[in-house]
Structure 1
Amino acid sequence: MSNVDNDINPPENNNSEALTTSFLEADVALVALDSANVGIWIMDAHSGEFRSSKRTKMLFGHEPDEELSFEQAMQSVAEKHQKIVLKAVLTAINNKTSLYIECPVFLPSDQKHRWLSITGGFGSADTVDSFFSGIVIDITKQKQNEMRRSKFIGMVSHELKTPLTALKAYVQLLSNWAKKQKDNFTIGALSKVERQVKKMLSMINGLLSLSGAEAGKIHLTKQSFSISELMDEVIEETMFLTSSHQIIRVPCEPITVNADRDKIEQVLVNLLSNAAKYSSKDLPIEIACTHINNFVEVAIKDQGMGIAADNLAQLFDPHYRVERVETEKIAGFGIGLYLCAEIVKRHNGKIWVESELGIGSIFKFTLPL
């Protein structure tokens, strides 16, 4: 595999003795880890020399007594994941940071894939320490369960969406009829029904998007559109569903982006809905956009309960919700921010949050123009 061979220098043997000593010192740990079906590996970050336990070799589709180089391990990784894994490893080595990545490896003997979780890091932050080591775990069953769950969620959500779409159409027909009859009571009642139907459709669309994101199937249909016009439409829609909050749009210059309009609308709806859910009704929510270099930056600011620093790192993880007394009665699946992050990433943008507990939060994302 040429891309791996070109990016990793061939091993040099000048540190072989030190590597062997370091590896042998882990003998007791190796026995314990192997018995727990956990593989272990160690690599000299300077020379590229790579050693692995028997379990690691087996997880990468090799015999326990075979030699396994870093290049051979990389060649076992499914082709479309090779560059991603290699980049993650090199970034961790160059920046002396921890490594965590999940990837499939192809097993020629069984003609199937196995999913592995690879974790690694340096023993210390000392620049002299060149031993990069970690563990490998088989997570195939976990991945299969996740795929089954995603498939089930997608199937159920799709089945629920069909009758709800029909119900929405009938409500709109009845609403038009009531307006002609000038029946104010029926108009008001149908307006509330339509609002609840829209909420249900929004939840179902979120579940369908989650299913697609977990399967790596977020498809983009890009077009040029005005981000400020889209913001106005989303504000109007959000005010219809959440009329108790005041949403202030900070004036900004006309900015045209090339992106998937529906997906970006979904991001804006999720972020505005979150801001409304986690802030008091008497406090305004602000939304603004700014042209910065070759990007547009969108910011949504609330004056709500805020987020503790300990929770910020996990905020965009799937199914993660901040567990506090104040959030116990707030409904949600913990998928909105995860979907926002996946959509923005697919557009080669960035998403983050600035928050202070008790003060409020500012969610920001960028899109390349």
Structure 2
Amino acid sequence: MAELVWLNAELTQSHADLKASKEELQAAFDAAEMGSCSLDIKTLKAEMSREYRNHYGLPLTGEINWHMVTDAVEPQYREEVNRVLAQSAQHGAPVDSTYPIRHLISGERKWMRVVGKVRKSKDGIPKSIYAVVMDVSRQMEEENRKNEFISMISHELKTPLTSIGGFTQILVHKALNGANEDFAPICRKIQRQLGKMARMIEGFLDISRLEFGKTMIKKAEFDFALLFEDCKQEFNNEIQTHHINFNGIGSVIIDADRDRLEMVLHNLISNAIKYSPMGSAIDVSYQLADAKLMVSVRDRGMGILEYERDKLFRRYFRSQNQRIHTVAGFGIGLFICAEILRLHNGEIGAENIPGEPGAKFTFKIPLC
């Protein structure tokens, strides 16, 4: 009798320990915003945690079946999701599936990853699937950005490479035919294209440096008027689609990173060209204001959506303005500009011109 009492006490304690373990596991799932589910393969009925139901917008109480779950899956992915289930049901294959859903209540689009394993009966027949689900929307967005970034790099670098290839072919052709002429103009064009590539590559590298807080600036005194003149010559030689007006006040000695400031000015002028109609004017100017250098770039494009003004200099921000949705870009140029100016204790801002088309971007940095 004493032995039975002891066994009963042990069994009761085991049940209590198991319940506590389940509660601790569920608490861990909840903390990680992971849902859990047990799906009966034969009836396709599921026991789901509250978090799982929340992810999909399913009723928080009551019976759930597989068809209710797949209603949330985007239509073009349902066949693949059902195929994964069939593989598990027929062959006991583990589950690892990532797919987009539309929340059944809010309509919000999310990417979900489901990972699980099959439980089998004593006869070795798949009986149920135990799985956990997690929201991987952020990871998928990062992956998409990476792919878009690689595509953009390939496209952007292809343009100067094509130009360099063309100029080189001209040089080779002239050399082979014994042409006795000055090759300096063609060589200068090649140099400009190489400079363009170098700036692009430096910009791409800056993204990685900024990610880890490793961007450095190398300050030295120089005359901003010379940098301004270099930009003027380059854009006037390369751009025939817009009328770019450069206006300065002459020599201004500043203590700053020349290459970084040149990148900022290039980015702002290039954006003005990209987002304004062909044949329109772009004004680039600089002046002194309160012991600071103030540089402005004004275009005659579509301007800035007021509710997006505070987001312009965020990483990866792309305007939702439908008028510019075909303009290529990755949303990093203005972010890099803002970070470079921050390292100079400077500032950057943007505004629309009241009663006129276009926007004006202005940055300021201390002279020393």
Using the size of structure 1 for normalisation, the TM-score is 0.51
1:313 lines up with 2:310 in the alignment: yes
1:299 lines up with 2:296 in the alignment: yes
Distance 2:189 2:254 in 1: 35
Preserved CA contact (<8 Å) 2:352 2:359: yes
- Deviation of 1:232 after TM superposition, in Å, equals 1.4
Counterpart in 2 of 1:223? Answer: 220
Counterpart in 1 of 2:44? Answer: none
- Deviation of 1:294 after TM superposition, in Å, equals 2.1
How far does the alpha carbon of each residue in 1:50-75 deviate from its partner, in whole angstroms, 9 at most, with x for none? xxxxxxxxxxxxxxxxxxxxxxxxxx
- Which amino acid in 2 is paired with 1:296? L
Counterpart in 1 of 2:360? Answer: 362
- Deviation of 1:305 after TM superposition, in Å, equals 1.1
Distance 1:359 1:365 in 2: 20
Equivalent of 1:206, from 203, 217, 223? 203
Sequence identity percentage: 31
Would the alpha carbon gap of residues 168 and 337 (structure 1) be closer, same or farther in structure 2, given more than 3 Å must change? same
Preserved CA contact (<8 Å) 2:199 2:263: no
Preserved CA contact (<8 Å) 2:242 2:281: yes
Matching of residues 92-111 of structure 1 within 5 Å: none
Distance 1:194 1:173 in 2: 15
- Deviation of 1:332 after TM superposition, in Å, equals 1.4
Q: Gaps (5+ residues) in structure 2?
A: 1-26, 34-136
- Which amino acid in 2 is paired with 1:368? P
**Aligned-residue CA RMSD (Å):** 4.7
Instruction: Select the structure of larger CA radius of gyration.
Output: 2
Distance 1:230 1:193 in 2: 20
- Deviation of 1:282 after TM superposition, in Å, equals 1.8
Counterpart in 2 of 1:338? Answer: 335
Counterpart in 2 of 1:251? Answer: 248
User: 3-state SS of the aligned residue for 2:326?
Assistant: coil
- Deviation of 1:207 after TM superposition, in Å, equals 1.3
User: 3-state SS of the aligned residue for 1:257?
Assistant: strand
- Which amino acid in 1 is paired with 2:304? I
- Deviation of 1:300 after TM superposition, in Å, equals 0.9
- Deviation of 1:253 after TM superposition, in Å, equals 3.8
Counterpart in 1 of 2:98? Answer: none
Preserved CA contact (<8 Å) 1:295 1:367: yes
Would the alpha carbon gap of residues 189 and 227 (structure 1) be closer, same or farther in structure 2, given more than 3 Å must change? closer
User: 3-state SS of the aligned residue for 1:219?
Assistant: coil
- Deviation of 1:227 after TM superposition, in Å, equals 1.2
Distance 1:347 1:227 in 2: 15
- Deviation of 1:239 after TM superposition, in Å, equals 2.9
- Deviation of 1:243 after TM superposition, in Å, equals 2.7
Would the alpha carbon gap of residues 251 and 196 (structure 1) be closer, same or farther in structure 2, given more than 3 Å must change? closer
- How many residues align structurally? 233
- Deviation of 1:212 after TM superposition, in Å, equals 1.4
Equivalent of 1:242, from 239, 243, 255? 239
Preserved CA contact (<8 Å) 1:308 1:356: no
Preserved CA contact (<8 Å) 1:289 1:298: yes
Distance 1:228 1:207 in 2: 27
Using the size of structure 2 for normalisation, the TM-score is 0.51
Matching of residues 1-369 of structure 1 within 5 Å: 35-36=30-31, 171=167, 175=171, 178=174, 181=179, 200-356=197-353, 359-369=357-367
